[in-house]
Amino acid sequence: MPMTRPPSTAAKVDRRRALVQAAFDQIAQRGLEGLRLRAVAVAAGLDHSSLHHYFPTKEDLIASVVEYTTAQLWPTLRSGRSPADRIRRHLRLMAHTMRERPELFVVLCELNLRAARDPAIRAIIDRGDQDWRAFITAQLSDGAWHRAYDAAAGAELIIASIKGATFNPDTAATALRQLERLLTDQE
Amino acid sequence: MPMTRPPSTAAKVDRRRALVQAAFDQIAQRGLEGLRLRAVAVAAGLDHSSLHHYFPTKEDLIASVVEYTTAQLWPTLRSGRSPADRIRRHLRLMAHTMRERPELFVVLCELNLRAARDPAIRAIIDRGDQDWRAFITAQLSDGAWHRAYDAAAGAELIIASIKGATFNPDTAATALRQLERLLTDQE
Amino acid sequence: MPMTRPPSTAAKVDRRRALVQAAFDQIAQRGLEGLRLRAVAVAAGLDHSSLHHYFPTKEDLIASVVEYTTAQLWPTLRSGRSPADRIRRHLRLMAHTMRERPELFVVLCELNLRAARDPAIRAIIDRGDQDWRAFITAQLSDGAWHRAYDAAAGAELIIASIKGATFNPDTAATALRQLERLLTDQE
Amino acid sequence: MPMTRPPSTAAKVDRRRALVQAAFDQIAQRGLEGLRLRAVAVAAGLDHSSLHHYFPTKEDLIASVVEYTTAQLWPTLRSGRSPADRIRRHLRLMAHTMRERPELFVVLCELNLRAARDPAIRAIIDRGDQDWRAFITAQLSDGAWHRAYDAAAGAELIIASIKGATFNPDTAATALRQLERLLTDQE
DNA sequence: CATGAATGAGATTTCATTCAT
DNA sequence: TATGAATGAAATCTCATTCAT
């Protein structure tokens, strides 16, 4: 029983989006390992064969999920009046997001892990990480950080803490709050 | 006529160990997702069916790998003369191990991720984490840490940093060194 | 807003021709087994769905390829002043064509093979074979051949030799030249 | 309902043979294009998954079919008292086999055709062809053939005729008989 | 105990074809 | 008329697991 939907350009974009979203959800629930194209297609409301119309291969779909996921995160940057304020806001926003949208970090974690073996994913993630790193380093260099310290090293610590906090969602906010305190007490 | 070697208890233990080690190696190389029982059996030098003799199900084998992996890490604790020294040593030892035996952390990462969906693995890992957490908290409470801070929160930060540092092996040492500096400068 | 060109009859015929030619090329390169309608359509410069407008089903397209292919071959007959000369020319022309346009024979071979299982194709090919057989038999009966021999049998031999020579393009000319010598030495 | 059969070594060989035979039959009936592993497995009386136990990939199975098929043919050589007699017997045996076991030639034809695009098959077939060519050339050089002619060229003609005769099973015997007459009349 | 043959469930991918627009 | 989205059927291959031997 063929369901006919308006195949306008907008619809095509919607379909792609729906598929990516569905794939994201699946990864969040069952992990990259448990990602099944059939399930994704069903969740997006179309035949598993049609999925290949939009994403010829599974890797293509995953790549889109990587882009989608990282894109969700970076808009959280950039707000705040001073460098120190921006770092503070960033840490809190991350902790907040971990509570509100834990899937985001779960999926990111999955992707980070696979990136270790998949250059294609590695590339996309690295791109995002570069921006992230640059942002934090800039704030630290710009006064959010005791001059005696190395801004780059500080950025690595912040990034590591955030990534690692993901593994224990319950205590993530606590850990990041402690980091914030440690950093601001240096000023 | 197949030669049946007398399966002494020692030999049996050796076989199990070999299988777990082989599984660990496979996970390190190909990820949990790429873990194939046949490959494990071959690497351990026996038939894939014999593997089921020692580990009836795949999950059983993985559980043993979890135990093996965590067990590799905790002996690294406990050395050092003062609490602050023990924390310092711990951080450096972790950074050192990340360089020397990165597989340990790769595998741990894989297992941590799966733990999110697998209660059995979750339990084993949590057990290890408890000890870890307890050790760090103890040192922090015991003077390794500025009194104004919360030892438990500090422990969470340290754990998160270490776990997260795994994702970027290149900058792991830098990040942890920075954390160490931040902590010790509080004294 | 898609530009709809007036599909004049001439253009329509051209489109069909282009499709058949493209299909022929595909078969030559990838075999009947590797014939993909989408690839054909792309090669002919139109949409895969438009192809179905000209050839409702894959079989229809193939049938047209059969006709096209056989049609390419028979014009090579008929020249020469005497029966013996015509046979000689025919053999040489065939050998020559095998070198110059090997695809023709490759495709013919593919079609011959499928003809064994597909009556529709069988019919078209047989029609061509009949003319071919008749032509050769006529020449042989007409003096190109030692009277003691059976013209029909000779025709079968010639046809078999030519078809079989296709399989080894390198030695095709050699084989056919030998046949020619054998035949003419009988005169 | 698991069917348990004696998994002796002999049985294993039998199973492989059965699978190759079944594959051969399938190719004879439906062509290489129509070869379906499931159908082969069913015809051989086992699960389609078990087939992969014996032949990891489809190509492996096909390779075995190529060997099996060519092996069926060459034993037909070598009998006869004189070179001329051996050639005569060879041609008649071929014609006879074409009538009695036409599948042999159908399959060979399919394989020859695919050999044009598949080097692996090409290699196996070429090996057989070399022996065949050598045998015929030897007989021709050895007196089965008028000295004025080139033995190698004669061999090519014979091979081409036999291969080509396959396409028209009805007239194959006629064509080959005519070739025989042509050759022997040269003596 | 150890082995290898066997299975069944399932995953990705391909492709001819159809249906609205 | 031409397009591209959608479908369903099917095909190859993988893998954990089980069962005789």
What is the count of residue pairs from A and B with beta carbons less than 8 Å apart?
Answer: 122
| C113-128: pLDDT as tens digits | 899 888 889 999 988 8
Tokens at B75, concatenated: 């002996």
Question: Which residues 50-69 on B are within 7 A of strand F at the CB atom?
Answer: 52, 56-59
**Chain F footprint bases within 7 A of protein beta carbons:** 1-21
What are the chain C neighbours of D179 within 8 Å (beta carbons)? 157
In angstroms, the CA of A75 and the C1' of E21 are apart by: 38
Spatial distance between the Cα atoms of A152 and A141, rounded to a whole number of angstroms: 8
Give the nearest nucleotide to B34, CA to C1'.
F15
Q: How confident is the model at residue A1 (pLDDT cuts 50, 70, 90)?
A: very low
Q: Enumerate the H helices of chain D as residue ranges.
A: 9-30, 37-44, 48-54, 58-73, 83-100, 102-115, 119-139, 151-165, 169-184
| D97-137: pLDDT as tens digits | 999 999 999 999 899 889 988 998 999 998 888 989 999 99
Per-residue pLDDT of chain D (187 residues; tens, 9 = 90+): 333 344 445 566 788 999 999 999 999 999 999 999 999 999 999 989 999 999 999 999 999 999 999 998 887 677 788 888 899 999 999 999 999 999 999 999 899 889 988 998 999 998 888 989 999 999 998 876 776 788 999 999 999 999 999 888 889 999 999 999 888 775 4
Shortest CA distance from B106: residue in chain A: A113
User: Do chain C and chain B touch with ≥3 beta carbon pairs under 8 Å?
Assistant: no
Spatial distance between the Cα atoms of B111 and D96, rounded to a whole number of angstroms: 68
Spatial distance between the Cα atoms of A105 and B73, rounded to a whole number of angstroms: 25
Shortest CA distance from B181: residue in chain A: A149
Nearest to B161 among A112, A161, A186 (CB): A161
Shortest CA distance from C107: residue in chain D: D113
Beta-carbon separation of C153 and D175 below 8 A = yes
| The amino acid at B51 | L
User: Do chain D and chain A touch with ≥3 beta carbon pairs under 8 Å?
Assistant: no
User: Do chain C and chain D touch with ≥3 beta carbon pairs under 8 Å?
Assistant: yes
* A15: CB partners within 8 A, 6+ apart: A44, A46, A54
Tokens at A49, concatenated: 């064969």
D33 C-beta neighbours (distance < 10 Å), count: 18
Give the nearest nucleotide to C7, CA to C1'.
F1
Tokens at B152, concatenated: 């438990």
D28 C-beta neighbours (distance < 10 Å), count: 18
| B80-136: pLDDT as tens digits | 888 888 999 999 999 999 999 999 999 998 998 899 888 889 999 988 889 899 999
pTM of the model: 0.85
pLDDT score recorded for residue B91 = 92
What are the chain A neighbours of B165 within 8 Å (beta carbons)? 156, 160, 164
Q: Any idea how long chain D is?
A: 187
Lowest mean pLDDT among B114-128, C59-73, C144-158: C144-158
Closest CA to B91 of B185, B147, B148, B165: B165
Q: Which residue is nearest to nucleotide E6 (CA to C1')?
A: D50
| A61-115: pLDDT as tens digits | 999 999 999 998 887 677 788 888 899 999 999 999 999 999 999 999 899 889 9
- Which CATH class name applies to A9-57? mainly alpha
Contact A166, A109 (CB under 8 A): yes
Nearest to B106 among A116, A168, A171 (CB): A116
Per domain, the residue ranges of chain B are 9-57, 72-184
3-state secondary structure (DSSP) of residue B89: helix
Beta-carbon separation of B112 and A156 below 8 A = no
Closest CA to A83 of A158, A27, A166: A158
Closest CA to D114 of C32, C156, A185: C32
